[in-house]
Every structure is written in structure tokens, then in C-alpha cells.
Chain A
Amino acid sequence: MNRKVAPIITDPINFDLKLKSIEKFTLDNGVPVYSINAGAEDVMMVELVFFSGNCFEKQNLIAATANYLLKNGTAQKTAFQLNEHFEFYGSFLSRACYNETATITLHTLSKHIHELLPVMQSLVQESIFPDDELATYQQNMKQALQVNLKKSNFVAGRLIDTYLFGKDHPYGKYSSNKDFDAITKETVLSFYKKKYQQGNCMIFIAGKFPPSIEATMNNFFGKLSIGNNFKIPEMPLSFIEKPGEKINIINDETGVQASIRIARRMPNRHHPDFQKLMVLNTIFGGYFGSRLMKNIREDKGYTYGIHSSLQNHIQHSAWIIGADVGKDVCQATIEEIYKEMKIMKENSVSEDELMLVKNYMIGSILGDLDGPFQIIARWKNYILNNLNENYFYEAIQTIKSTSAEELQSLAKKYLNPEEFYELSVI
């Protein structure tokens, strides 16, 4: 045995990856239910995806507030009783508000589903948003915001989105104390009526289902006056961009690190470049062995971690490089980032590195297809982006076939420092 020689491997690019198909049925009211019935454990997930994200609101924070306070009181139950009900059955009811959609998600042991769905239904139909609950929410959210505003990476994350999309754009706007104070019960309630009670919804279920799940889902959600109009308002980028700007902000005089964000707008995933860009991004800053990580962490020790990623918005995307670095090496880090961009543009990626990244990406997708919750998460992303399973197979094919020349020409097209915003927050 020679320890210097690596064991023979099967290159993952030779794997034949399959995405488990998704089942679909339609409730009486036209609401689609997508399902993955799989898994060895008796657990399941029910997720209601409403088209009620913040792009539908006329006043900042109304969508997020309606989503958050859904479970803080219904006609039948107080906030405490609602929590107690879900918690008694050991289930986890969570909700989240995004730019386009807002979700209500239940994770539970499958055996308790019949006790939980009626109450989940009531959240969609009978929430009352008590004054007291709203007041507590406003106060606690303002307090949490105050704490977050002391963190350089939180501040940097908010600001970079504003530079990219504008402070009035759904992708760029953020919360302030003033916005929290301006929320009224009437506004929230009227948003709720329009966007939940009579809103548009798709449902995703995954895990090991109890018998006759279709009838059960139809019984609880098929008779509600929710619909299936999944139109998202156009979100034009109306403001004038000023890429190339360099912004340095001192948020905390005593800070010991700088949060760097370097970012540019990008086309969304329907653009022909997008899938190849995923490969380029992986090489550049998308995994532990990336160029940025190797240089800035593993060679220079400037940071605990540096990453780049393409944002997963529906209408517009962005390419963002981010790191928290020692205050004294902030400028040096920024220079190294630009240097890495330059190298990507001027030199083609070696066959060795390209092969490694391709194998890594395929292995990573294979690992990510493990289990019903992961599979449905991938499907959900496709469905919300108006894509189908072809996208999966194209993505795999793109990873396998992208050439070093293509990557270099993409680097030339997109990795131009003058097209990026440069932000550092201490």
C-alpha cells in the first residue's frame, strides 16, 4: 500500500443523477398540491406558499407582519392556545416572508396530522391580529433591530441590497423603527384578507403520508376561498445605478472587523448564462476550495470565511462577495478580491481545477437529493421560478460540459470591478 497514491475514484461527473418526480393534484378550489411521498421515518411537512410576499405590500413591513402574526390569535384561540396546540403534538409551525411569497410550514410526526391541519386551516381563515399582540410585536422587533444594527455584517447586508436595487424596491428596502411604528391593525388585517383569506396559494407536502392524504388536504384546504393566480407584479429597476461606487461606513468606532460586500446586479436564472455562472461562481468563491477562500483565508489568514454567491430572487439576481475581515486588512482583502477577478479573466481555469469543481458540484447535488424534504425544496424552487425538471437535467449537463474557455469569457463579461459596488462597514 502506498499512502501517497489516492485510491481510484469514480468521477462523479459520470454519475447519472435522477431527480425524483413530483406528484401533483388539485384541490376543489383549484389550489395545486405538489407532493413527494418518501422517506423511512414517520414524519412529514406541509407548506402553504402564499403569493403574499413584500412585493405585494403598499407600506413597508405589512407583508412580514401579517405573516408573522398569523398565529397570534384566531376567532377561536388565543396566541397561547395556538402555540400550545402545535406544541402539544410536538410539531413545529414556522412562517417566513420573502420578496414574492410568504409561507406557513408545519413539520410533524405523521401520526398527528389530523389534529394539526384544522388549526393550520384556521390560521389562513380566522386570524384576528389582536391589538395587544401587534403592540408587543412592534416593540420586540424594534428592540431586536437595535441589537442587529450594532453588527457590521447586518448593516452591510442591508446596505448592499439598497445599492443594487434601490431603497424602494422590494429587494432593496429594509426596516426602521419608523416603519414598525407606522403599522396599523387595519392595514395588516386588510392585507391578510386579500392575500391570505382570499389569496393565492400552492401547497407542498413531503415525507411519509398517512392514508388518503389527497382527501385530507382537500377537506381542509380545498373549500377555502383561496385561488391559483400566481402572477407576480413587475418589479422594474427604475432607479439609476451607480456601480463602481466605493462606500466606507463606520458603524461602530470600537469595531475590530470590517464587513466587506462587493456586488453587482445579474440576470435571473432564465438567462442562458446563469447555469454556467453557477460553475464560475463555485470556482471563484462558492465552496471551501474556491479561489477567494484559498487566497484570502488559507494563504493570508485575513478572515474566518469569504464567500461569493448568486442571489436566488425570481426577477433579478445579484452576485455578492462577502467576508468579515480584520479591520487592518480590509483594504488588502479588497485588493485581493479584485486581483482574483483579474486572474479569472486573464487566465483560463486549468483542466485539473475544472474537473475537481465539476465533480464537487455533482457530488454536492447528489448529497442534496437525500430525503423527501430536500427533494421538495429543490422542486419548490423550480416551480416558483416557472421551471420544470428539464432545468435540473440541463444544470447537470451544464456542469459536466462547461469548458474553461466559456468560463473565461463569462468572467470577462461579468467580473469587471467597475460594475461592482464596493462596501465596507466597520
Chain B
Amino acid sequence: MIQFDKFSLGNGLRVIVHTDTTTPMAVVNIMYDVGARDESPLQTGFAHLFEHLMFGGSTNIPNYDAPLQRAGGENNAYTTNDLTNFYIQLPAENLETAFWLESDRMLSLAFNKKSLEVQRKVVCEEFKEHYLNKPYGDVWHKMRELAYTAHPYKWMTIGKELSHIENAKLEDVKNFFTKHYCPVNAILVVAGNVSTEKVKQLTEKWFGNIPSGEKYIRNLPQEPTQAEAKRLKVVADVPLDAFYKCWHIYPRLDQRYYIIDLITEVLSGGGSSRLYQSLVKEKKLMSSIDCYHTGSFDAGLLSIEGKLIKGMSMESVEGAINEEIEKICKELISNTELQKVKNQTESLLAFEDLSVMNRANSLALYEILGNANLMNEEWEKYNAVTAIDIQQECNIIFRESNSNTLCYYSKN
């Protein structure tokens, strides 16, 4: 059970405080309710590029990093398709430094031209490093485009193509800031060796007079139910054939999310999981296999993917995966197997919650989803899943018409 206090400022900034006096550190986590799904299809990768620009100095503080480092702190940030998160860890004594820095860049960025020029290049190198300069790096670009026809999940957080990042203009940066980076679209979590009283006082002092901004109302095209199976064949300069297949699943807040999560555990949660045992160990068709879901806020994807053993055919791999899917659709999983995946989940949750940073991050995430206390209700929801739930959901999800298959062939 994670304890926390919650309050809001007059400008709409929501604040959560989680006290843990066993650590000498404090964590300040600001999550903005904007991600790659909020971009225009002609300007993809912008939310992430913007995350980089947040470090280019603000109106009153030319350099963001140095004062924080001088206070003994570290920071980082990440962007997903759903959100953008900035986090700081620093000695609790110097907590106010984090408030000073974060509030100033929420108040206004410096909109420095040089910073835009440099970060455009940095992000292009990031794009190359992670998606162009390694084998299979483009798979998820292709898979998202195949699976999504309407929803902006059809592009990756990094962006659809380099040119979108290269063409970003300072004007666009300013507009994006005004639209999304304001108190009413943000969650502040302060955790660690801090008191609610102190946090209240510091929040009022530093964030209280920032104009609230306009609440961003999201109105995204939702993905229609897929009517028939889609397939794509790719031939590329990679050493091994690889197989990828995805099915549409549910939004993060749907009760069935927990069932889906456990299904992926049954299929590939470790060395005793079904797909690994069958495809890698027994049939020796693949050298690796993985099943996971994207965990996104809007309806995501469940994916099964892996590399083929040289000489094995795509057809035999797909056939063997289908056999496993048929099995989980037809036969109820045993109580022991269900208990196993629940125990794995319980343990995973416990280990995740060890670090104050993770706890702060989770609280912000659940608050953006609607209620920070959802964090404390997770385990109950997993524990309530039954073998029948799993069977029923498998039969719904794993319809062939709901699937997207990408066969990635080695040209050698």
C-alpha cells in the first residue's frame, strides 16, 4: 500500500506527495499529459523533440542542468506515445532547487534557436542509433503502420521519418509549449524524504503564480474494429528471418487489461512459459520468442515475435504458434499455471515499487489516467482474474481477422 497526499493549486496543477523517510533523497516528477499520439501526422516525433528542448534553458535560468548537478541532483526524461515525463532525484535538503528549475521551465522556455538546431541533430542521431543503424530496427515503424489505420499510434514516438524532425520550426515549438506545457495539463509528484506541509509551501511559492493555461481536450480518431487479417512481407539485409504478429487489445483502463497482461505471462513470462517451451525448446523452430503488449492508454497491441532458426520456414513457425493459441483458446489453464502467473505479477509489482523513483513515476501515471490510487488497486485486479476469463479473452483477441502479421525475411 503506497500512502500519499493529494492537493491542487488554484491554477489547476495537481500535486501528489509520497513520504518515505528511509531515504535521504527526494524525487520530483512532472508528467505532462502529452505524447506522440497528440501530434499531427505531418509533424511526428515532435513531442519527443520537445522533451529535448525542455533542457535548453528557461526564461530566468539559462542552463537547466548545471544548478541541479551543483545541488547533487540528477535528472532525465522520457516520452511515450501517451505522455512526457521529467524526473529529478536530489538530496532532500536541496529540494527547493528542483522546484525552482521545474517551475521556471513550466512558466516559459527561452525558445533558444541554437538549442533547436542542436537538438534536431541530436534527435536525428538518436533515430539513427535506435532505428536505422541496427538490424530489424524498422520493424515497429512498419508494424504500427500496418496495424493502425486511424489512431495516431500508427507512428513511433521517435517519429515517422527524419524529415519531420529536421523541419521543425521555432514557431511550432512555441505553439506546442503553450498548448501542452501548463499547470492544468501536468501532474507534479514529490516523493522521498519530504513532508506534505513543506511541499505545499514550496509548490505555492514556485508554481502558484503560473497561469493555468487551457485544459487540452483530446479528441483522437479511435481505431475501428479490424475486419480482416492483414499481412506484410519485408525482405532486408538481416542475418535471420523473423516473425511478428500483433492483435488489437483494450485501453489501459479497461478491466480486461489485466486479463490480457496475464495472457502474455502465460505465453512468454519466463523459461517455463508456453511459447518458449514449445517453439524454442521442443520444436526448435525459433532461437527466441517473446509475447508482450504495448500497455498504451488507448487500445494497444499484443505482440508475438521472434527469430527463426536458420532453415525453418515461416509457415511452420506460424503453424506452431497457432497451435499454442488454439490450445489456450480451447483448454482452460490449470490452477497451478494461473497461480504461477499471478505470483510472478505479485513479485514484479513488489520489486518495481522498491525505488522511490518508480513509485513517484507510477503515482503520476495513474493520476494522469484518472486516479493515483489505482496504483494500490492493481494487485487486486490481477488476483481476481479467473481461468475462464483468460479462455474467453483469448477467444476474442486471437481471432485471425484481428491480426496483423509481418514476415521479415533475410535477403541472404
CB distance from B197 to the nearest CB of A (A): 17
Whether, in the assembled complex, B220 has its beta carbon less than 8 Å from a beta carbon of chain A, the answer is no
Contact A87 B129 (CB under 8 A): no
Whether, in the assembled complex, A103 has its beta carbon less than 8 Å from a beta carbon of chain B, the answer is no
Question: Which of the four size classes fits the interface of chain A?
Answer: 35 or more
Whether, in the assembled complex, B211 has its beta carbon less than 8 Å from a beta carbon of chain A, the answer is no
List chain A residues, Cβ under 8 A from B59. Answer: 3
In the complex with contacts A7-B96, A79-B281, A301-B118, A370-B23 CB distance below 8 A: yes
Whether, in the assembled complex, A212 has its beta carbon less than 8 Å from a beta carbon of chain B, the answer is no
Interface stretch (choices A58-66, A158-166, A181-189, A357-365): A357-365
Q: Once bound together, how far apart are the Cα atoms of A254 and B25, in whole Å? A: 46
Q: Once bound together, how far apart are the Cα atoms of A324 and B125, in whole Å? A: 8
Whether, in the assembled complex, A118 has its beta carbon less than 8 Å from a beta carbon of chain B, the answer is no
CB distance from B407 to the nearest CB of A (A): 17
Contact B356 A146 (CB under 8 A): no
Q: Is the interface of A mostly helix, strand, loop or mixed?
A: mixed
Q: Once bound together, how far apart are the Cα atoms of A257 and B93, in whole Å? A: 43
Contact B100 A359 (CB under 8 A): no
A360 contact from B70, B128, B237, B277, Cβ within 8 A: B70
B67 contact from A6, A15, A43, Cβ within 8 A: A6
Contact B125 A366 (CB under 8 A): no
List chain B residues, Cβ under 8 A from A367. Answer: 25, 74, 89, 91
Whether, in the assembled complex, B104 has its beta carbon less than 8 Å from a beta carbon of chain A, the answer is yes
Q: Once bound together, how far apart are the Cα atoms of A151 and B130, in whole Å? A: 11
List chain A residues, Cβ under 8 A from B232. Answer: none
Whether, in the assembled complex, A243 has its beta carbon less than 8 Å from a beta carbon of chain B, the answer is no
Q: Once bound together, how far apart are the Cα atoms of A88 and B334, in whole Å? A: 13
Q: Once bound together, how far apart are the Cα atoms of A303 and B24, in whole Å? A: 34
Whether, in the assembled complex, A268 has its beta carbon less than 8 Å from a beta carbon of chain B, the answer is no
Whether, in the assembled complex, B219 has its beta carbon less than 8 Å from a beta carbon of chain A, the answer is no
Whether, in the assembled complex, B233 has its beta carbon less than 8 Å from a beta carbon of chain A, the answer is no
Contact B134 A90 (CB under 8 A): no
Q: Once bound together, how far apart are the Cα atoms of A43 and B348, in whole Å? A: 11
Whether, in the assembled complex, A122 has its beta carbon less than 8 Å from a beta carbon of chain B, the answer is no
In the complex with contacts A10-B94, A41-B354, A303-B125, A146-B239 CB distance below 8 A: yes
Interface string of B86-99 (1 = CB under 8 A from A): 00011101101101
Contact B240 A143 (CB under 8 A): yes
Contact A87 B270 (CB under 8 A): yes
Chain B CB within 10 A, most for which of A15, A81, A288: A288
Whether, in the assembled complex, A240 has its beta carbon less than 8 Å from a beta carbon of chain B, the answer is no
B61 contact from A4, A39, A40, A149, Cβ within 8 A: A4
Whether, in the assembled complex, A109 has its beta carbon less than 8 Å from a beta carbon of chain B, the answer is yes
Contact A12 B72 (CB under 8 A): yes
Contact A147 B125 (CB under 8 A): no
Binding site for B on A (CB under 8 A): 1, 3-4, 6-12, 15, 39-43, 71, 79-84, 86-92, 107-109, 136, 139-140, 143-144, 146-147, 149-152, 254-257, 287-289, 297-304, 324-326, 355-357, 359-360, 362-364, 366-367, 369-371, 373
Binding site for A on B (CB under 8 A): 20, 22-25, 59-61, 65-67, 69-74, 89-91, 93-94, 96-97, 99-100, 103-104, 107, 117-126, 128-129, 132-136, 205, 237-240, 269-273, 277, 280-281, 284, 287-288, 307, 309-310, 336, 339-340, 343-348, 350-351, 353-356
